[in-house]
Amino acid sequence: MKDPNNTRNTSPRRGSPLWIFFAVSIGLGVAAGAAALAGLARADLDAVVTNPVFWLLGAFIVVGEMRPIIAPGLTETSGATTSTTFSIAALLYAGLPVAAALQAAAAITCGVFRGRSPHRIAFNTAQYVLSLGASALVLNVFGIHPSPAAPWVPDGRDLPAIALVGIAYFVTNVTLVGSAIALHERITLVRALRWDLPYQILVHLALLGLAPLMVIAMDRSAAFVPLIVLPFIAVYLNASVSVRREHQALHDGLTGLPNRKLLITRTEGAIAHLGRPHHRPHGNPAPPAGEAAPKGVLLRRGGDDASQRVGLFLLDLDRFKEVNDTLGHPTGDRLLQLVAHRLTHSVRPGDLVARLGGDEFAVLLPTVRDEAAAREVAARLRAALSEPVRLDGVSFDLEGSVGIALYPDHAPDFELLLQRADVAMYHAKGSRTGVEVYSPDRDRNSPARLGLLGDLRRALDRGELELFYQPKIALRDGRLVGMEALLRWRHPERGVLGPEEFLQVAAQTYLMRAITQEVVGMALAQAEAWWREGLTVQVAVNVSGRDLLDADLAETIAEGLVERDLPAAALQLEITERVLTGEPASGSGTVAALTDLGVALSLDDFGTGYSSLVRLKRLPIEEVKIDSSFVHRLTASPDDAVIVRSVVELVGTLGLRSVAEGVEDGQTAALLREMGCDAAQGWHFARPMDAVRATSYLRRSMRANGAARAGDDAVLTEPPAPRLA
């Protein structure tokens, strides 16, 4: 049964219902224990001291109390306490005084060893004494009065009496603990008992059923008693292995914090415990799917206290990448461990701190009174993080941005809570306020967009994302200089969707990282297939500035290249010009790591940002792509023609390759060639093709050229490709 005070180790408030219940229970337990011990005769004491059976029972009761059998999903306070078997056996064999004394000694020893508060030790002891006392009364009703000097050994005719003894023990024990939980949690006794009653019935049925077998073994010889313990040892070891495996599956390997899977389970449990939203006050209709309730309108719930909410925080460390880049990943890992320690010691008892990945943490508040209380917890978290940190001889300050979402005010389930906490966190980061609560006014996600986000999350699991490929052609001689991978989503209802229809939704969520990893993996797999066939073409993949802040990106690419036995020249990463305007991205260690790998960088959409020559020279790129918005108007607008010519000359001066995007006709291609542009891509050469058609395209190019050209650029020579429909 769940410990009645497992989240606190402080005494209940004097005069409170819980305090009164504890006082009455402890008083009754002391009285029952004193009355039982008073009935011991001198012969009984001598029998206890001289009979090794009682010493063995005492040892097993202590060990059983100290080492409960914890199955997966349970805690130390809700596991199966095997001392029950031995204490009931002592009751049947030698009576209440011996059983109560041995069990009380074990409860006190265990409580002191684990550092429990005195009131908890006293209540646990009284709980056992009263439960055993209820069982002893049942024995007395049947005329059974065992004692150490005259032990009782049951036979088959005594099974009804033994069954009632077990029922009396179970009912008394569960009622006492359930009442304490109900008073502590301020819920009904029925609800407190309902939490794990089926499990407790099953466990006690097994433990109590072994007690008469233990009595028979004790009566025959003390040597048989350890044999009864062997099954317990086997079950304990097996359960320990299962719990260890479960812990590994549900916790982060670096920090030891719960991971996303456990966070989902605990959040859904907290929502279910609080009660799902149902009847609404008249005049407050339900908002459309995916939208939050109007501010100030609290939805009624089925729980006991409609004023309570579930809070979910998303916390992101500010400037953590600078620590990683400056001091290295080992120091960054130690810093994450320190952050985890500070967070777990800054939340309330019962709250959950989880690590989602990288420098993102989540905090679950199973119950929180209101927005103001949630802000207080968030402020405490930020205060704990802001204390100076000193690692490897370097002292620096650390800050975090916290986004808050509350159930049911902002979302009805975990996924939406996390998404809206993410929205609030980015607002806190952008506004530099540190802590923000989700507000529908700041959320640009419509219900349709949120629905699309859910579909996209499922699309990743179902493999609905795929890559199309479009060639980049050298304007001077028509040779192929690469294939750009373009992301598409084969939506089961809406057909093939381009990235503009779904990436913006995912760009500021945790899904973006998973999408990037999926795209890189698919591109490397396709490059491997082509290179194995002799089609040694470079594949370009688009990544965002946020991707460049992901320290794992370079490691993922390096592992992918090694796994597929590909050279770094097989992959090119295209980044937008806006990355140049963000100092953390352009100066991140990820860019340096990619450069060290030999992975080429291409600057996409050049001309749409505000980059300077200094930043352009600073970034290790080999190619600049001129945005299609200028190329489309090249033949019609003299101003755009001047811009494109200037960009081509600038890029050439810097020793980089210029590539024009969106070339759709021969006239534009000819003008670009005359300007000195190196390469181009667009419908004039080929439309984006799926992997099968792209492979056929490359094979035709191979046959047309006779052989693949091997070189640093990993390109194929060919005449201009025909336009594909």
- Mean pLDDT in the chain? 80
Are residues 95 and 43 part of one domain?
yes
Residue 480 has pLDDT above 80, yes or no: yes
Higher per-residue confidence, 134 vs 66? 134
Closest by CA position to 424, among listed 408, 409, 442: 442
Determine if the peptide bond prior to 408 is cis (ω within 30°).
Answer: yes
Task: Say whether both 460 and 395 belong to one domain.
Answer: no
Let me know if residue 408 belongs to a domain: yes
pTM: 0.46
> Within a 10 A sphere around the Cβ of 500, how many other Cβ atoms?
7
User: What's the pLDDT at 114?
Assistant: 83
Distance of CA 724 to the CA centre of its chain: 46
The domain tally of the chain equals 3
Helix (H) / strand (E) element for 394: namely strand 394-396
Tell me the β-bridge partners of 352. Answer: 364
Please give the pLDDT value at position 15. 83
Name the residue with higher pLDDT: 15 or 140.
140
CA angle centred on 333, ends 327 and 334, rounded to 5°: 85
pLDDT for residue 457: 83
Instruction: Provide the pLDDT confidence category of residue 715 given band limits of 50, 70 and 90.
Output: very low
369 shares a domain with 267:
yes
Residue 497 has pLDDT above 60, yes or no: yes
Whether residue 486 sits in one domain with residue 381: no
If asked whether residues 317 and 464 sit together in one domain, one would say no
At 673-701, the pLDDT tens digits run 999 999 999 999 999 999 999 999 988 87
- pLDDT at residue 210 is higher than 90: no
Q: What is the pLDDT of residue 667?
A: 92
Residue 464: phi and psi, rounded to 5, are -85, -10
Enter the DSSP assignment of 69.
B
Question: How far apart, in Å, are the Cα atoms of 442 and each of 73, 375, 402, 430, 445?
Answer: 39, 18, 15, 12, 9
Is 572 within a domain?
Answer: yes
Express each pLDDT in 8-35 by its tens digit. Answer: 445 677 888 889 999 999 999 999 999 9
Which pLDDT does position 708 carry in this prediction?
42
Span 515-543, pLDDT tens digits = 988 999 999 999 999 999 989 999 999 98
Is residue 374 within 8 A of residue 365, CB to CB? The reply is yes
Residue scoring higher pLDDT (297 or 712): 712
Q: Average pLDDT in the 563-580 region? A: 83
706: left (phi over 0), alpha (psi -120 to 50) or beta: left
Q: List strand residue ranges (DSSP E) for 492-538, in order.
A: 495-497
Residues 37 and 77 in one domain: yes
Do 81 and 215 sit in the same domain of this protein?
yes
Residue 383 located in a structural domain: yes
Could you tell me if residue 354 is inside a domain?
yes
Examine the pLDDT at 638 and tell me if it is beyond 80: yes
Q: Is residue 321 over pLDDT 70?
A: no
Q: Which two tokens stand for residue 602?
A: 């291409």
| HSE, side-chain direction, 13 A CA sphere, residue 66 | 15
Find the domain containing 386 and state its range.
260-275+306-443
Report the distance separating Cα 165 and Cα 152, nearest Å. Answer: 14
Q: Picking from 450-459, 462-471, 561-570, 653-662, which range would have the lowest pLDDT averaged per residue?
A: 450-459
Q: What is the pLDDT of residue 572?
A: 93
User: Is 663:631 a contact under the CB 8 Å cutoff?
Assistant: yes
Do 428 and 569 have their domain in common? no
pLDDT, tens digit, 9 for 90 and up, residues 413-445: 888 899 889 888 888 887 778 899 998 766 665
What is the C-alpha to C-alpha distance for residues 721 and 703, in angstroms, rounded to an integer? 13
**Strand 571-576 with 623-626, pairing:** unpaired
pLDDT digits (tens, 9 = 90+) for 60-89: 888 888 877 665 555 555 556 888 888 999
Please choose, from the candidates 453, 454, 452, 417, the residue with its C-alpha nearest in 3D space to the C-alpha of residue 438. Answer: 417
Which among 203-217, 226-240, 512-526 has the top mean pLDDT?
A: 512-526
Query: Do 475 and 398 fall within a single domain?
Result: no
- Statement to judge: residues 69 and 116 lie in one domain: yes
Q: What pLDDT score does 239 carry? A: 59
- What is the predicted pLDDT for the residue at 292? 36
Q: Give dist(CA 360, CA 624) in Å, integer.
A: 33
pLDDT over 60 (residue 670): yes
Residue 283 lies in a domain: no
Task: Look at residue 340 and tell me if it is in a domain.
Answer: yes
Q: Place 512 in a pLDDT band, splitting at 50, 70 and 90.
A: confident
- For residue 413, what is the domain's CATH number? 3.30.70.270
Say whether both 233 and 330 belong to one domain.
no
66 and 125 assigned to the same domain: yes
Q: Is position 387 within any domain?
A: yes
DSSP 535-587: ----EEEE--HHHHT-THHHHHHHHHHHHTT--GGGEEEEEEGGGGG-HHHHT
DSSP structure string for 584-631 = HHHT-HHHHHHHHHT-EEEEEEETSS---HHHHHHS--SEEEE-HHHH
The helix, strand and coil proportions of the chain, stated in percent and rounded to the nearest 5, come to 55, 15, 30
**Listed range (29-43, 221-235, 363-377) with the worst mean pLDDT:** 221-235
- CATH code, domain carrying 634: 3.20.20.450
What's the pLDDT at 115? 83
Confidence of residue 360 (pLDDT cuts 50, 70, 90): confident
53: pLDDT confidence band, cut at 50, 70 and 90? confident
User: What single-letter DSSP state applies at residue 221?
Assistant: -
Is 196 inside any structural domain?
yes
